Amino acid sequence: MSSTIFALSSGTLPSAIAVFRVSGPQSLPVLRQLSRRKIWTPKMMEYTKLYDSERRIIDEAMAVYFPGPKTFTGEDTAEFFLHGSQAVATKFATCLSEIENVREAKRGEFTRRAFHNGKMSISGVRGLDRLIRSRTEKERRAAFGKMRGGVRAVEIRKKLVQILSKLFVIIDFGEHVELQLEEAQRDVSEILQEINRMIAAWNGAERAQRGLNIVLYGRPNSGKSSILNQLAHDDVAIVSSIPGTTRDSLVTSLQINGVLCRLTDTAGIRRLTDDVIEAEGMRRAQQRLECADIIIVVVDPESTSDDVAAILNDVEELKSGESKVIIVKNKTDLKLPYPEVLIDSMKKCHVVSTYATSSNGCEELRNKLGSLVEELCPEANFLLDAELLRKCSDELTCSMLCQDAAIMCSHIETALESIGELTEGIVNENVLDGIFSKFCIGK
C-alpha cells in the first residue's frame, strides 16, 4: 500500500490561511483522527477543531474530504484550512507526520502521483510551475532553494553524494584503493555537525515563536528593577533605595527586534538572610535562571567580590547550555571601581555599562539585547526544514554506528532523499562519474 503524503500547499507563512493538502489511502482516517469526528460528507467543507495526539487543540479550522479518484492526485484527499501562523502550521505538520504511514510529500510528489493516476492534465502545485518555467541555472537553484532548505541544502546534498561515492568505491573497488569505512564516517560526522548547526538555527525560529525569556539577576539593590523599567519604558517595578524591595519575580513583556520577550525581574541575591519571604524570593529567582534564554547579571560598584563571585557562580551552574549572559556594570555614573572578579568573567560574557537612574542610560544594553535576540532567533524561511533536517540527522547518526557498508549506504541514501531528491532511484551515474574522476580503480 502506498503511503499517505501531506504538504503545505499555500504560500509562505505567515499568511491569513495555511492550506494543507493530504493525499493517499489514509486521508479520511487522518481527517477523522485529527478532528475527532467520524462523519465527513464528501466535498462538504466544514468547521472543525483539530487536536493533537494528546487531545490538545491545535487550531480551529475548515476541513474537507474528497474521495478519489476524482481528485487532483486521483487518490483520496483531504484539505485543511488553518490559521496561517508559522507556529500553528509547524505544530500541525508535526502532528501529521507522527501518524503512521503519513509523511511529508517529497518534491513534486503530488504531481507525480497525479501523473501515475492519469491526472496530469490538471495543472499543478505551486512552486513546481516556477521550477518548470525557470530557465537559467541560477533561477533553478533559487527556485530549488525555495522548496527545500536553500543553498545550504544543495551543498549538503552535494557532500552526501560525495560520501556515497566514497562508500561505493569502498564496496565495489575495495581491493584497489586504501579507503576505510572510518574515513567515510569521518566525513559523515562533519556533515552531521553542519546539519546540527542548521537544526539549532531552526530551533531559534521555534524560540522566536514561543518568545524569549530574559532574566535580570544580581545582588539586592544593584538596580535590576530600574533597568527593567528603563527597558520597558514603564514603571512596572516599585523602585526604592531600600535593598530587597523586589521580593518576588516580576514579569513584563516587550518586543525586541520583533521577537516577543518576557523580561523577568528577580529578587536580589544575598548569601545570608533570615527573612523567610526573601529566601523564597531568591529560590524563585534561581529557578528563573534555568529557563532563561538571556541572563542579565547586574553588578554595581558597591558589590563585594564575594557577592559577585557567588552570583556568577549561580549563573554558571544554573543556566541552560544555549543561553547568553550579559554583565551589566550598573551605576557607572558613580565613577567607582568594580570588584576585580569581574575581569575574568568579562572575557567570557558580553559586558555593557549603564547608569540606570537616567532615562538614556540603557541604550547600549538595548542594542546588545537586540543583537543577542538576532543570534538566538535567526530568520528561517521554510516550514518543514527542521523536520527534514532532523530526519537527515537521525539517518546520518545511524550511519555512523554501522559496521555494515551496505546498511551505511542505505542510511545515507535515505538522508539524501530526505533533503530532496525527487527521484527514488539513486543518482547512480552521477555517483559513478564522481568515483571515476577521483579514483583510479579496476583490475
Partner 1 sequence: MLSKSSRLLRRCFQTEVDVIVIGGGHAGCESAAASARCGSKTILVTQNKNTIGEMSCNPSFGGIGKGHLIREVDALDGLCARICDKSAITYQALNRAQGPAVLGLRAQIDRKLYKKHMQNEINSTERLEVVEGEVAELLVKNKKVVGVKMANDTIISTKCVVITTGTFLRAQIYQGMKVWPAGRIGEKSSDILSESFLQHGFELGRLRTGTPPRLMKDSIDFSKFEMVKPDQKPIPFSFLTENIWIKYEDQLPTYLGHTNEETCRIGQENMHENYQVASETTSPRYCPSFESKVLRFPKLQHRLFLEHEGLDSPHIYPQGMSMTFKPEVQKEIFRAIPGLENVEIFQPGYGVQYDFVNPKQLKKTLETQKVEGMFLAGQINGTTGYEEAAAQGVVAGINASARAQNEPAMEVSRTEAYIGVLIDDLTSLGTNEPYRMLTSRAEFRLHLRPDNADIRLTELGRRHNAISDERWSTFSKTRDALNDLTEKTEQMKMSVVKWKRVIPKLSATTRNEGKVLSAFELVHRYDLGKEDLEMGLQDVKVDEKILERLKIEGRYRMEHERMKAKKQEIDRESATEIPDNIDFSKMRGMSLECIEKLERARPRNLAAATRISGITPEAIVVLMRYLKSPAVVRATV
Contacting residues toward partner 1, per CB under 8 A: 2-3, 107-108, 111-112, 115-116, 118, 120-121, 128, 131-135, 137, 140, 144, 168, 170-176, 181, 403-407, 409-410, 414, 420-426, 428-433, 436, 440-443
Q: What is the DSSP string of 387-410?
A: HHHHHHHHHHHHHHT---HHHHHH
Find all residues with CB under 8 Å of 422, minimum gap 6, and list them: 106, 107, 108, 109, 112
With respect to partner 1, which residue has the nearer C-beta, 381 or 428?
Answer: 428
Q: How far apart are CA 13 and CA 418, in angstroms?
A: 22
At closest approach, how far in Å is the CB of 407 from partner 1? 6
297 burial via Cβ count (<10 Å: 0-12, 13-18, 19+): buried
Q: Taking the complex as a whole, how short is the minimal distance between the CB of residue 167 and partner 1, in angstroms?
A: 8
Question: Least CB distance from residue 125 to partner 1, whole Å?
Answer: 10
Of 91 and 391, which CB lies nearer to partner 1 in the complex structure?
391
CB of 141 to partner 1, least distance (A): 11
Residue (144 or 338) nearer to partner 1, CB: 144
Q: For residues 414, 415, 418 and 423, what is the CA-based torsion angle, rounded to 10 degrees?
A: -50
The residue (of 131 and 349) whose beta carbon lies closer to partner 1 is: 131
d(CA 95, CA 97): 6
**Beta carbons of 149 and 388 less than 8 angstroms apart:** yes
Residue placing its CB nearer to partner 1 in the complex, 292 or 409: 409
Contact, 187 vs 162, CB < 8 A?
Answer: yes
Q: Minimum CB separation from partner 1 for residue 418, in Å?
A: 12
Among the listed residues 312, 251, 316, 236, the one whose alpha carbon sits nearest the alpha carbon of residue 284: 251
- Is 355 or 439 the residue whose CB approaches partner 1 more closely? 439
Nearer to partner 1, 241 or 403 (CB): 403
Can you tell me whether residue 279 is helix, strand or coil? helix
> What's the longest Cα–Cα distance across the chain?
87
Beta-sheet pairing, 250-256 with 57-66? unpaired
In a 3-state reduction of DSSP, which class is residue 289?
helix
Q: Which CB sits closer to partner 1, 10 or 111?
A: 111
Q: By C-beta, is 300 or 395 nearer to partner 1?
A: 395
Query: Are 307 and 292 spatial neighbours (Cβ–Cβ below 8 Å)?
Result: no
**Least Å from the CB of residue 405 to partner 1:** 4
67: which residues sit within 8 A by CB, 6+ positions away?
Answer: 28, 42, 76
Nearer to partner 1, 346 or 407 (CB): 407
Collapsed DSSP state (helix, strand, coil) of residue 57: strand
- Tell me the HSE value of 250 on the side-chain side, using a 13 A CA sphere: 18
What CA–CA distance (Å, rounded) separates 105 from 34?
19
In whole angstroms, the minimum distance from the beta carbon of 71 to partner 1 comes to 16
Give min distance, CB of 26 to partner 1, in A: 13
Nearer to partner 1, 12 or 428 (CB): 428
Listing from the earlier edge strand, what are the strands of the sheet with 212-218? 250-256, 259-265, 212-218, 294-299, 324-329, 350-353
Q: Is 420 in a helix, a strand, or coil?
A: coil
CB of 76 to partner 1, least distance (A): 18
Using DSSP's 3-state secondary structure scheme, residue 348 falls into helix
Compute the least distance from the CB of residue 380 to partner 1, in Å: 23
Provide, rounded to whole angstroms, the least separation between the CB of residue 423 and partner 1.
4
